[in-house]
Chains A and B, each alone.
Chain A
Amino acid sequence: MYIKKVVCISPQDTIKDNFPQTGIIEFDALQCPAIEPDYAGLIPRGLLRRMGKAIRMGVGAGLPLLTGNKDIEGIIIGTANGGLEDCIKFLNQIVKYNEGTLTPTNFVQSTPNSLGGTLALMGQNSGYNVTHVNKGLSFESALMDAQMLIEAGDAKTLLVGCIEEISTYNTNIYTMDGFLKKEALLSSELLNSETKGTINGEGATMFVVDQNGENALARIIDTGQITHPNHEDLLECLNALLRRNQLEMSDLDAVLLGYNGDQSTDHWYKQLSHSFDEGTGLYSYKNLVGDFPTVSGFALFLVLKLIELGEIPKEMILKGSNRSLGKVLIYNHHRGVQHGFILVESLA
């Protein structure tokens, strides 16, 4: 499966074509809010005022791809929480108004598959439309769905993407359960912090994937996922992924690791990094955008950008390498429970 086009809205200035040459933005808070584009001209005013942030970002990233590629046969979205802000508003209304008359807008925006439906309506796409709500493996599941459809010959071109938003509610919940740090710190200090928790992020990343490799940006070789593993299970999951694609560890030119500065779960990355070849470059990405369940979509966007530019921002380098980015592995886990791999190949 080949990636033809990508649009990413994230806490970095990824809307600009020349990112990351525009420089890496540093954060000094517990949240990394996304930099949103000007939606005027893309989303009618009457619709825009009803959209929550997740839907807005998803439409902002997905609609230009959908309208610019009439061959797209279906829409596959991965999201853990969807438009959570509107969802909780709606649930609170049910309680506050004793299950009386409820406002339709919050309801329309409150389900995870609202984005898929909105994109289908606005882009007039009546094809396959599925949203994967699988927490930290939502994006990997969406990619796997797309790959299966394309490999089975059931689709040629698809829109695949992911969204997540920072909301008052997820910030409160994540703070209470220890997922977020208690103290604000510079994003440049995140990976070296010696405390539990991470910083919150958000964003929307959309890809046009195709069975045809002509003019493609890269190829998704395969994806892998495992839940509740121990270290041996995780390594075997990765080895199995490589084996079924006739690859070895030494074939990996670069690995993007999802270090998020949480001392209680970063050991997964450290432990697995011992298994990689000496010449394999190791790079981080969550110190650029914070952590959220579908952050691996941003990591995949980043790989495409790095392949295109051929250089890697110093902020990402954990262990440098002089190898060009041929085969790249993205490894991300969510809270040490859900672990996902995305194996990408440059076509250069």
Chain B
Amino acid sequence: MEVAALKLKLKEQIIEYLNLMDLKPEDITDEEPLFGPNLGLDSIDSIELIVLLEREYGLKIKNPADGRKILVDVNHIADYIIENTKV
């Protein structure tokens, strides 16, 4: 899968998993901080994102410290998926 296609799919999945129904994929930029003031995600959302990665990509984040480095923005999550799977 191309990187751009992966990022688009990831945005659609973030919207679905976090029930951000008033947003469209194009409203989320690749480098926008997920836990910043715009999207306003919180700690429960971080668990939802961990579940997303496990269910959709078979990736388990076991160390919470890793999660802080991965769940930064769409770019970081996409890089993590590419590095750890054969997309």
* With known contacts A46-B42, A49-B19, A104–B54 Cβ distance under 8 A: no
> How extensive is the interface on chain A, given as a class?
10 to 19
> How extensive is the interface on chain B, given as a class?
10 to 19
CB atoms of A101 and B18 under 8 A apart: no
**Which of A45, A50, A97, A103 counts the most chain B CB atoms within 10 A?**
A103
CB atoms of A101 and B40 under 8 A apart: no
CB atoms of A105 and B42 under 8 A apart: no
Which single member of B22, B41, B51 contacts A102 (CB below 8 Å)?
B51
CB atoms of B19 and A103 under 8 A apart: no
CA distance A118 to B85 in the complex (A): 39
CB atoms of A45 and B40 under 8 A apart: yes
CA distance A50 to B21 in the complex (A): 11
A100: interface (CB < 8 Å): yes
CA distance A106 to B57 in the complex (A): 21
Q: How many contacts A-B (CB < 8 Å)?
A: 30
What's the nearest-Cβ distance from chain B to residue A119, in Å? Answer: 18
Which single member of B17, B40, B48, B55 contacts A46 (CB below 8 Å)?
B40
Tell me the B11-44 residues at the A interface (CB within 8 Å): 17-22, 40-42, 44
CA distance A323 to B42 in the complex (A): 57
What's the nearest-Cβ distance from chain B to residue A6, in Å? Answer: 30
Instruction: Determine the chain A residues whose CB is within 8 A of the CB of B42 once the complex forms.
Output: 46
Instruction: Determine the chain A residues whose CB is within 8 A of the CB of B40 once the complex forms.
Output: 45-46
B72: interface (CB < 8 Å): no
Q: Can you list the 7 inter-chain pairs with the closest CB atoms, starting with the nearest? A: A49-B19, A103-B51, A104-B47, A101-B51, A46-B40, A104-B44, A101-B54
B binding-site residues for A, Cβ under 8 Å: 17-22, 40-42, 44, 47-48, 50-51, 54-55
